[in-house]
Structures are given as C-alpha cells and as structure tokens.
Chain A
Amino acid sequence: MASGDNSSNNIQQPPLPPLIGPNNSFGSKNFFSHPPPPPSFNNSNNTPSYMAHIQQYAQNQMQKQLNSSPNNNSGSFFHSNFNQAPNSLFNKPIRFNINKQGVKVNPMMRQAQQNHNNMPFMNQNFQNTNAKKRKNKKKNKNKNNNANNNNNNSNNNDNGFNTSFSSPPHPPLPPIMFTKPPPPIPSSPTTSTASSNNSLSQELLSPPPAIENTSNITTQKDTKNEESSVVSSTSSSSIEKPAMEWPESLYNYVARCYMKCTTPLDKDMCEITLKGKITMAANRNELFTKDWDNEPMPILHSDRLLQQQQQQKPPTNNLFNKNKNVVTGTLAQYQNSSPNLKKATTKKRRTSSSSRSRSRSLSPPRKRMGSEDDKYGNSKTSSKNSKKKAKKEKQSAFYSKFGAAGMGGAVDSLDTERLKKRADRFNTKSSVKSHMNSNSLTTSTFNKKRLSMPSYFVDDTVDEDIDLMDLHIVGSCRDLEKSFLRLTKAPDASEVRPKEVLIYSLTNVKNKWVEKQDYFYACDQLKSIRQDLTVQGIRDEFTVKVYETHARIAIEKGDHEEFNQCQTQLKMLYNEIGGENQLEFLAYRIIYYIFTKNTLDISSVLKTLTNEERENECISHALKLRSAWALCNYSRFFQLYKQSPKMTGYIVDWFIERERKLALKNWIIKVYRPNISSDFIKNTLAFNDLITCLEWLISLNVTFVSDDKQIVDCKTSMNAMAAL
C-alpha cells in the first residue's frame, strides 16, 4: 500500500480484470485493515461515521415515511434491476432494498423511470454497498471520486495506461469491490490484447486507472480534498466534466460480469465480450454516456445452467426473459447499436445524472458531518439511532455470517462459491432427482448411480444450507399492515417487510388489538409478520417478541392451533437465544399438554425441569395443576384454576368444560346421595355465579329436585350423566 501511495502514476492495476494472485488477497486485507496514514483525508476513518449517517438518514426517512403514509411505497420499482445479471437475481433486490431505505419513490413513476432509474439505483447501490461493506465500498467510492479529480487534467486515457504498463508491478492493489472474491484470474493485459483485435480495446481492457489513482489520492489529497472530493463526486457524474477514467457504473458493470464467472470458461467468454463492449463504447465515445447499469450481462456458460434454473422460479423468470432477447445479442448487439439509441441513452443519462448528483449532494455532506467533529455535533440524532444502528449492524453481521447472498455490496467470494456450487447442483440435479425419488433408485443403472452417489451426498448438505440461506432475503416492502398469504413461491423482496418496518407493524397490531380486540385482524397481521421474519431468517429478541405476542393473543382467544405453532417456535427460539418470559411460556406449554392430554410430552418436560425452574410462580402452579389433574383431584384442580397466574387461566379455559363434566359425572352425581345443592356445584366447579352454573347444568339435562333448581337430584341425573 505504502508504495502505491507514493506516486500518482505508478499504481496501475487493472481493477476490472483484477489481477488476483495470492498476493492480491493478502494485499487487500492489508489495504483495508490499515487505513492510509493521516494527515490525509482518512477514508477509512471516515467511513464508519459516514455510514452511520447514511443509516441514520435512512432510518429517519423511514420513520418519516411510516409516519406520513405507510402504504405509499409499496410499489416495487426495483425490478428493472433484475435484468442486470441473472445470477444476481437474488442478490440485487436485496441490495437495492437496503439502499432504498428512506428513498421514497412513487411507484407510479416506474414506467417513466424505466430508463432513468438505473442511475439512481446505481447511486443508491453505492450508498448501500457502503452501508453494508463499509470499508471496501467506501474506499472505492472515494477512490473513484478522487480518481476523477486527478485525471481531470489528463484527458488522455492512454497516458494513464502507459504509465501503468511501464511501471513495475507494484504490490497489487486489490480492486476494491472484489477484494474478497478471488476473481477469475484474467490473462494479463498483454495476453488479453493478443486475442482482441485493436489496441484501443487492449488499453481499455487493461486496468482502468481509476482505482490505482485512488491510492494516490488518498495520500496526496489532504483535508482540502475532503471538500473537493465531494465536489468531484457530484461533478464527476455530470457529463460536462469528462473524466477519462471509466465511470463508476462501468466499473460496477465489469465487476458484475466477472462476479458472474464461475469457471475458467466463463472467464474467457466474459473477457472477450467485455473487450468488445468496452472497445466499442470507447470508439463511439460512449464510455460515459452509456447506461452501464442497464447493460446486459454477457451470457456465459454457467448462465445457461442458471437459465434452466430460472425457469423453475416463476417470479424471477419473467424478468429474466424480458432481457433475454437483449442479452443474447452480446457482442453483436454493440456493433448494431444505432446512433438513435445512443442519443436516447445520453439524454436519459443527463437527467438521471442530475438526479444522481442530487442524491449525492444529500449524502456526501452527511458523510462529512460524519467525520469526527461533526459526529459529536450530531450526537443527538446519532445517539437516538445508535440503538437501532447497533441492531442493524448485528443483523448485517448475521447475514454476512450466514452468507445470505449479497446483503448489499458486491457479491463476495463466499457468494460466488455458493453460486457456483449452486450451478453445479443444477447440473447434477437431474441425476440427483432420480435418487431422491427413493424408489426410483432401481431404475438407474448402477454405473450412473455410482457416479452420482457421492455427489448426491455432498449436494444434499449443500442443498440444505444453501436453500435455507437463499431464502433469507431482505424485504423492501414499506407497508405497515399486510395480510397473511401462504407463500406458494419464492418470496418477492418487494412484498416482504424488513425488520425496521415490522417493529412498527407489531406495535400497530398491538395497539389495534388493545383498541378493538379484533382477533381476525390481529391474527392475520401477526401471521404475516411472522412470515416476513421467517422469510428473512430473522431470529432474535424481536422474533421472540412477535411470537410471544401472538401466543398471548391466541391464548386469550382460545386459538390453540396458532398457539401451538407459536409455542413450538418459541421453544426453539428460547433454546437459541433465550428470553425473559421463557418460564412463563414453559408453564403455558405444560398446561397446553394437559389440554391435549399429552402425558408423554409432559414427562419429557418434567425431565428437563430444574429445581429453580420449579420454583417459578407459573411453573409451580402448572405442575400443581397437572398433578391434581392426573389424580382426578377435581377440587384442587378447580381451586388452582381460580388462582391462575398470568394467562394460565385462559388456557385452562380451553378444557375447563371437559374437566367440569368429568367432575360432575365422576364426583358429584355418581357419589352424592340422595341429592346435592347447586350452590355446592357452583363453588366446587369454579363457576362465577349460580346462574351460569344452573344454565350449564340444565344444558346437561341434570334433574333438579324442585323448580327453584337449588338442589340436584343425583340419582335421576345418573341417566343424563351416562350420555356424557
């Protein structure tokens, strides 16, 4: 790094066909772990606060949104992004969604935006990626900006390249975006040129100077740059200042392309196509005007496999198909591209760029504020949000930990690996399928089986992991309320609410529940919240809270099916993360088992109870209740019922009728002679008042001695009891 910082010119490293050797990955680590030394505008230092601000901003926005009109944003306008890369279908929406926080876009605009939106997205993308992959992204951005500044003077691309060529290989600077993923090792620029026709393409393909320059910038630029960089960032996007480097969008595009490559074959194909595309663009001076975000990805070998897979996935399928015709064109398409089209794109470009600069202007100042001084100035807001922030970070950590694909930022190596595995899986799927159909094993010949057998096993494990992980999308839906609908397909991010929204949703449901006691509504809402949580793989305190809430409401309303679902989930959640109400719900579970007469499960619960747990108010009550129930000690049972702590009484209510009948039959009518007072029945069977008790007795055809119904004739009532 240090060497790279010294001179502005020498750094040339092809960012795009990133030269990655073992050194590189090492270098990348270094690069990020050691921020460039002060006094320069310290990017890495800035980033956290900057990011924090973005998050804050996003959250503020979100709150505003929620406050103002929760339902406004439901429209999903990200779809256009899907077309970028087939393999990023899962990743992209996620990323965008995240970024999207706080950016309101009217769904109606979607049509109009078709072309425009790419830029804003790009922009957002940037923010997001920053948010998620702070270090990497941040650098990248700055670098790019800086690069633009530096190169403002030199309009000639060739210069940059020449220098790069001439300079001895430096410790390779990892292309920022791809730091992690060992990108395909592209043939060195020279070799690649051999394959391509013209020298221009060669140069273009060779590392674009931008990234190398960044290193210069970081060192060279001092505090002044802070401002200038911001300026440049806004200005760079506009066309008036033609920077000779590649535009960010192109970087991203190339990066995306390489991300896509999973096999050497892919790499070669990708390289060739890119060369063609970029050369073409450069020849036509479209390098900056071209809408790289919308640029179709080259079709690679592995794409075809993916394509097959896509066809099995209805939601994504459409998007893919939409682009299909475009995509198929690849190289030829460029040669054919008409000037009209070009113009159109440039036009669009302009508008979009302006919007971009606007959005830029929003965030970069914040970023500056995020630098240490301002941070304190803003402490009010930041402290407010700090908690949320922390949560968010946790969440993202969760995702990165579990490798949820592309939670913002570029696809990292893990993801590519996974994608590759995934592709492989689909390769073998057909053969595996036959194995899965347990009985069909016989059909395949032994050889075939034998070959696929090992892979079957490997795949199986991978399968489990990946499928689960892939489901962990991050939602983008802003709706406060959403009806539950059983998923019949892979969830669409635009229909899934992220956790921040769900928190509000939960409060909303709670409030409405308190107000109106509309169980149907509450159940529906809570189920959809649960679904969103499941789909996004969120399992934390909040999830516990949601399930507890639903369980409580279900208990109150006697919906034992929902309660059972909740308590099953809670059992697992408590095991994973614990919870303060654990014992309370354990007690509910015990009583629920009494309700279902599941003595086996009761025994297994008893097995696990510790002595301290037995002393808990709810648990000890539940255990006493169970014991009384098991021994048919109705008297004690109903006494305990009267003193039920917390919500246990509600669950007992579910089967109190059953027990009352048993008690009446086996205890009272069978045993007392000649008669018994209704008052006694009322008291022992824990009725609230005599009238309900009498009604109940009459409904059971119990005979009374006299018309005032004060005394039950036990002997004649025996017949009625037999019917119970």
Chain B
Amino acid sequence: MEFLQILFSIKYTDIRYILIHKMNLFQYLTTIERFWNNGEGTALARLINISGSHASNKSLHVENCESMIERHLEPPVDEVINTHLKTLYYLHETPPNYGDAYKCQMACVQAVVKLLEAIKEENWCLPIMYVTCLDLRLLALKCENTQQVAKRGHFMEKAAECLMLCFRVCTADNRTDERDTKRLGMLHLVNQMFKVYFRINKLHLCKPLILAIDRLPFKESFPLAQQITYKYFVGRKAMYDSDYKLSDEYLSFAFNHCLTKFWKNKRLILIYLVPVKMLLGHMPRKETMEKFKVPQFYELANALKQGNIRQFDDVMQKYEAFFIDTGIYIIVEKLKIIAYRNLFKKVYLILQTHQIDLQHFFTALQFVGEEDITMDETHCIVANLIAERKIKGYISYQHNKLVVSKKENPFPNLNIQEFYELTLLDESKSVQQKTAETLLIASKWEQENSIKMTDTNDFRGTNLPLTQAFMNLKEQQQQQQDQTDNQNRLKHDDEKKVENTQVNAERQQKSETPINKVFLIT
C-alpha cells in the first residue's frame, strides 16, 4: 500500500523519468521528444545530464546514432542530444576518454546556444543550459586533472569561452518580459564562470560579470542558492582586492543564508569570512570554529589577542598548507598587524604613560618572538599602526618616543575605528546622518555587552601568563635602568605599586573592547 501511495505521489513525468535507466535508445529518444514538445525544460535537463540516471545505461552508449536521432527529433534539439550521447559514449569507454568527452560536451553547449537562440522569448529551456554548462565545467576540471601538465588551464579557458557564448545569448535577451527572459539564467552562468576564473587565477575577468549582474533590475529575485554562490565569490574577490567591508557584507550574507545542511559549503564560506572578520576586529568564537572544524582560526585568534607574535608565527607555520591551499595565506598574514597593535596596547597599559619610549616596544617585540627586529623596524611597525589609525599619536624621532593621545583612547577599539572611519571621517555624510549612525552603533554595543561578558572569561587565563612574564621582564629592565638613573627609579617604584591595579584595569579594558568579542554570525 505504501509503495503504491508513493508511486501515486510521483508525478507522471517523474515516472517516465524513473524508468529511464532501463530504457533503450528508442525509448530514450521518444521520451525526449515528448518533453521537448511539451516544453518541459527541467525534465529534459535531467535527460541531458552526464551524471543522470540514464548516463550509466549501456544501451545509450552508441557512438553513432545520428540516423536514429534524426528520425525522432527535430533541430535544434537533435544536435544537443547527439553530442550528449557522444559525450556519454566517451565517458563510458574504459578508461574514460575525458578529452573527447570534453570536446563533445563543448559541442553540446554550442548546440544549446543555438537552441537558446532558436527559442525566442521563452526561457523554459534554461535548465538545459544549466546542466550542460555545469557538465562542461566538470569535464574541463576532469581533463585538467588527468591530462599532462603542459596543457593545464587550457581546458578551463576553453570552457569559459563556451560559457561566455551562452552568457551573451542570455544578456542579449533584454526585450522579453521579466518572467520569460533568458536573463534569468545569467547568474547561474556567472557562477560557473566564477568557478573557472577562480581556478585559473584570472580574477580580473570577473569584473565585467559582476557589473552585468549589478545592472540587472531583478537581481534580488534570483534563486537563493545562486545568490549565495554569487555573493560567496564576489566576497572572495573583494577580499583579494582588499575591500574588506564589502567582502564581509557579501560573505556574511552567504554564510547566514546558506542552509545548515550544506555543511561543507558553509565551512567554505566561513574559511574566507573569518579572516576578513578578524581583520575588521571580530575574533571568532571557539565553539563555532570547532563546529566547522576550522580550529586554525581559533588558535590564530588566541595568538592575536595576546599579541603573541611567536605563537602567531607558530600557528601560521603549523597550518601553512591549509592557508595556502585555501588562498587566504596572504590575508591571514596581515593579521599580524593586529597582533602588533594588541602587544603595543599592553605595553601602553602597563606603562600608563602618554610618552612611551620606543625602546619598550622594541623590548616587547623581542620578547614575543621577533628576535631579529631592529629599532628602525619598530619605528616602522608603530608608524604603520599610526597611519592606519590603530594608534592615535605621533613619534618624536629626536626623543625616540611615541606620544599618544591623552584625550581619547590611544588604542581605539578596532570596531570603533571602523565606525570612526565609516561615519565620522566621511565628509560626504551630513551631521544628522552621522548622529543617527552614532546612536545606532551605541545601542548595538549596549545590546551586545551582555554576550561579551560570557566570553571574556577564557581570555583572562590565557592572557595572564604572558602579561605576567612581560611585566617581570619589565621589572628587570627597570632595575637595570634604576642603577643608572635615579630619577626614573622613583617613577618606576610608583609604577610597581600600581601594578596590580594595572592588571585589573587591563582586564576591564579587555572585557569592554569588542576586539575580544566573538563575532556572532551563526
């Protein structure tokens, strides 16, 4: 009974489809003919899929079946089927002849282009295009992996050219009604091309595609899955272009909308999202990283929070292969600047003075692992932080001192800094606008405060040893200095007294700074 129920619940077309793996060539062709005449694009697409259930059907693996096809089908679909069957034939040779299969698939896509051109003002045939283009890319990938090294990239480029043909047909269809226009197929194609371009390192080719999509009036109405893929790639591209805000926006969209069941995809998005977020001052939460099996970032974040360059380098070394393979090595490397900032901030908090001798930074850097650093480099690192507004102040070369702002926090929270750059420094915004945005952000921080408190607990433990060790080192240094300079000694004694309060103050600072906060995406 249940079986029957299931059977009845399946649509008529599906039954025909289900049987396809047992069909002979004649039945296959007649089925296609029927679908074709009825304009059932999706069903048809399933029959032109190289991984469809009919693909392994041996009775369809005929090299030359032109006459058969000719009897059943009319142009332009006959050519599509002809080339498709040829592709299947080559694919099921032993060993699979990927090279020829790829060429046939290419001809198939070209036939589809013709088909698209032939069917004007209708778009039911788009699924056929989707499936053939996808197959073409997959075959190109297969060829890249199986053929000799010299031809690498060759297949992919050819495939991209083919996809471009489809893309042009779709873009050209701009007079048809929005429901029936083939422009609805653009995003899928763009995504396929993105995949190719990202693989062959030709990101500059992506730009016109992005522009084309941006210009579409109905870009929000694309299927969510396609939008997610699109935003994922554009986000990645923005990351390589150092446009972290945009990258954050797109990748966050992709991550938030990607369904949980596509765990692998979500993880992939996360791999690019996390470094971007970290650069913007959001550290990842441990549970999230563990959930998606990317502990690398959590370890990295720990090193960053402590300003521990040595640990940072160790983590980089340890996961170098991972970072390089995913293509984020260059980005992750930049996080070092944040580690510097956190380290210098610690120095500032310990010294509690607005005129910090760069010698202190120099010592601190040496202590956390930059053994071969020079004074000039210390200058340079501090200068970079100042230039990026991560430190408010200036350097007096004559006195070899960093002079930081007294009025405001000389180490602005990275988040605030973002707000500062986006809102207050933007001269194009009106005063009202700025006030509104300031209020908005203030309320946001108030809301997030409660969550923050829970997370800060783990950091204290980890921070303490380093801070302690660092302060011990400071003491030794100070003692040495004491011998030479009596005046200073008094000052340092004072400092020692307030040592405990300093640590507390630092903790407080930590708990308030959003930098310690986990970014909450999930």
Interface 9-mer from A46-54, A220-228, A440-448: A440-448
Contacting residues, chain B, for A667 (C-beta < 8 A): 379-380, 383-384, 387
Q: Does A633 contact B (CB under 8 A)?
A: yes
Q: A450-B66, A627-B333 are contacts. A600–B386 as well, Cβ < 8 Å? A: no
Q: Does A603 contact B (CB under 8 A)?
A: yes
Contacting residues, chain B, for A453 (C-beta < 8 A): 82-83, 107
Contacting residues, chain A, for B336 (C-beta < 8 A): 631
Contacting residues, chain A, for B516 (C-beta < 8 A): none
Cα A634 to Cα B380 in complex, Å, equals 7
Q: Quick one: which of B111, B203, B386 contacts A441, CB cutoff 8 A?
A: B111
Q: Does A460 contact B (CB under 8 A)?
A: yes
Q: A438-B110, A450-B70, A635-B377 are contacts. A668–B383 as well, Cβ < 8 Å? A: yes
Q: A603-B330, A667-B383 are contacts. A441–B78 as well, Cβ < 8 Å? A: no
Q: Does A471 contact B (CB under 8 A)?
A: no
**Contact in complex: B383, A606 (CB < 8 Å):** no
Residue among B165, B327, B403 with max Cβ neighbours from chain A (10 Å): B327
Q: A450-B70, A453-B83 are contacts. A635–B397 as well, Cβ < 8 Å? A: no
Interface 9-mer from B113-121, B423-431, B456-464: B113-121
**Residues 148-194 of B at the A interface (beta carbon under 8 Å):** 149-150, 165
Q: Does A63 contact B (CB under 8 A)?
A: no
Cα A600 to Cα B204 in complex, Å, equals 11
Q: Does A340 contact B (CB under 8 A)?
A: no
Q: A230: shortest Cβ distance to chain B, in Å?
A: 49
Residue in chain B with minimal CB distance to A683: B376
**Contact in complex: A600, B327 (CB < 8 Å):** yes
Q: Does A671 contact B (CB under 8 A)?
A: yes
Q: Quick one: which of A439, A601, A684 contacts B201, CB cutoff 8 A?
A: A601
Q: Quick one: which of B70, B104, B397 contacts A680, CB cutoff 8 A?
A: B397
Q: Does A457 contact B (CB under 8 A)?
A: yes
Secondary structure call for the B interface: helix
Contacting residues, chain A, for B408 (C-beta < 8 A): none
Residue among B117, B397, B403 with max Cβ neighbours from chain A (10 Å): B397
Residue in chain A with minimal CB distance to B242: A599
Contacting residues, chain A, for B382 (C-beta < 8 A): 671
Q: Quick one: which of B64, B78, B387 contacts A454, CB cutoff 8 A?
A: B64
Cα A599 to Cα B337 in complex, Å, equals 18
**Contact in complex: A666, B384 (CB < 8 Å):** yes
Q: A619: shortest Cβ distance to chain B, in Å?
A: 15
Q: Does A607 contact B (CB under 8 A)?
A: yes
**Residues 659-692 of A at the B interface (beta carbon under 8 Å):** 666-668, 670-674, 676-677, 680, 684
Q: Does B240 contact A (CB under 8 A)?
A: yes
**Contact in complex: A442, B118 (CB < 8 Å):** yes
Q: B264: shortest Cβ distance to chain A, in Å?
A: 22
**Contact in complex: B384, A632 (CB < 8 Å):** yes
Residue in chain B with minimal CB distance to A457: B103
**Contact in complex: B395, A673 (CB < 8 Å):** yes
Q: Does A490 contact B (CB under 8 A)?
A: no
Cα A453 to Cα B82 in complex, Å, equals 10
Contacting residues, chain B, for A672 (C-beta < 8 A): 383, 394-397
Q: Quick one: which of B70, B107, B334, B397 contacts A446, CB cutoff 8 A?
A: B70
Q: Quick one: which of A572, A630, A670 contacts B386, CB cutoff 8 A?
A: A670
**Contact in complex: A599, B240 (CB < 8 Å):** yes
Task: Write the A601-617 contact mask toward B (1 if CB under 8 angstroms, else 0).
Answer: 11110110000000000
Secondary structure call for the A interface: helix
Cα A634 to Cα B384 in complex, Å, equals 9
**Contact in complex: A442, B117 (CB < 8 Å):** yes
Q: Does B144 contact A (CB under 8 A)?
A: no
Q: B372: shortest Cβ distance to chain A, in Å?
A: 9
Q: Does A324 contact B (CB under 8 A)?
A: no
**Contact in complex: B387, A666 (CB < 8 Å):** yes
Cα A455 to Cα B250 in complex, Å, equals 47
Residue in chain B with minimal CB distance to A599: B330
Q: Does B287 contact A (CB under 8 A)?
A: no
Q: A453-B82, A636-B377 are contacts. A441–B110 as well, Cβ < 8 Å? A: yes
**Residues 566-603 of A at the B interface (beta carbon under 8 Å):** 572, 575-576, 599-603
Counting contact residues on chain A (CB < 8 A from B), the size range is 35 or more
Contacting residues, chain A, for B330 (C-beta < 8 A): 599, 602-603, 630
Cα A249 to Cα B36 in complex, Å, equals 67
Q: Does A552 contact B (CB under 8 A)?
A: no
**Contact in complex: B377, A676 (CB < 8 Å):** no
Task: Write the A445-480 contact mask toward B (1 if CB under 8 angstroms, else 0).
Answer: 111011101101100100000000000000000000
The interface size of chain B toward A, counting residues with CB under 8 Å, comes to 50
Q: Does B521 contact A (CB under 8 A)?
A: no
Q: A249: shortest Cβ distance to chain B, in Å?
A: 44
Residue in chain A with minimal CB distance to B385: A671
Residue in chain B with minimal CB distance to A631: B336
Q: A443: shortest Cβ distance to chain B, in Å?
A: 9
**Residues 668-724 of A at the B interface (beta carbon under 8 Å):** 668, 670-674, 676-677, 680, 684
Residue among B70, B104, B374, B379 with max Cβ neighbours from chain A (10 Å): B379
Q: B446: shortest Cβ distance to chain A, in Å?
A: 34
Residue among A603, A633, A636 with max Cβ neighbours from chain B (10 Å): A603
Q: Quick one: which of B110, B165, B201 contacts A604, CB cutoff 8 A?
A: B201
**Contact in complex: A670, B387 (CB < 8 Å):** yes
**Contact in complex: B107, A600 (CB < 8 Å):** no
Residue in chain A with minimal CB distance to B396: A673
Contacting residues, chain B, for A684 (C-beta < 8 A): 376
Q: Does B76 contact A (CB under 8 A)?
A: yes
Task: Write the B9-51 contact mask toward A (1 if CB under 8 angstroms, else 0).
Answer: 0000000000000000000000000000000000000000000
Contacting residues, chain A, for B2 (C-beta < 8 A): none
Contacting residues, chain A, for B110 (C-beta < 8 A): 438, 441
Q: Quick one: which of A449, A575, A670 contacts B383, CB cutoff 8 A?
A: A670
**Contact in complex: B394, A600 (CB < 8 Å):** no
Cα A442 to Cα B117 in complex, Å, equals 9
**Contact in complex: A607, B386 (CB < 8 Å):** no
Q: B382: shortest Cβ distance to chain A, in Å?
A: 7
**Contact in complex: A603, B387 (CB < 8 Å):** no
Cα A635 to Cα B381 in complex, Å, equals 9
**Contact in complex: B333, A676 (CB < 8 Å):** no
Residue in chain A with minimal CB distance to B115: A442
**Contact in complex: B64, A635 (CB < 8 Å):** no
Contacting residues, chain A, for B70 (C-beta < 8 A): 446-447, 450
Contacting residues, chain A, for B149 (C-beta < 8 A): 575
Residue in chain A with minimal CB distance to B90: A457
Cα A680 to Cα B382 in complex, Å, equals 16
Cα A456 to Cα B103 in complex, Å, equals 10
Cα A536 to Cα B118 in complex, Å, equals 46
Q: A300: shortest Cβ distance to chain B, in Å?
A: 31
Task: Write the B428-454 contact mask toward A (1 if CB under 8 angstroms, else 0).
Answer: 000000000000000000000000000
Residue in chain B with minimal CB distance to A606: B324
Q: B59: shortest Cβ distance to chain A, in Å?
A: 20
Q: Does B75 contact A (CB under 8 A)?
A: yes
Contacting residues, chain A, for B325 (C-beta < 8 A): 607
CB<8 Å pairs between A and B, sample of 15: A439-B165, A441-B113, A442-B117, A453-B82, A457-B107, A602-B330, A603-B330, A607-B324, A633-B384, A636-B377, A667-B379, A667-B383, A668-B383, A670-B387, A671-B386
B residues near A (Cβ < 8 Å) are 64, 66, 70, 75-76, 78-79, 82-83, 100, 103-104, 107, 110-111, 113-114, 117-118, 149-150, 165, 201, 203, 240, 324-325, 327, 329-330, 333-334, 336-337, 374, 376-377, 379-384, 386-387, 394-397, 403
User: Besides A451-B66, A607-B325, A670-B386, 20 other CB < 8 A contacts?
Assistant: A438-B110, A439-B113, A441-B110, A442-B76, A445-B75, A453-B82, A454-B64, A456-B107, A575-B149, A600-B327, A606-B324, A630-B334, A633-B384, A636-B377, A666-B383, A667-B380, A667-B384, A671-B382, A676-B397, A680-B397
A residues near B (Cβ < 8 Å) are 438-439, 441-442, 445-447, 449-451, 453-454, 456-457, 460, 572, 575-576, 599-604, 606-607, 627, 630-636, 639, 666-668, 670-674, 676-677, 680, 684
Closest 3 CB pairs of A and B: A673-B394, A671-B383, A635-B380
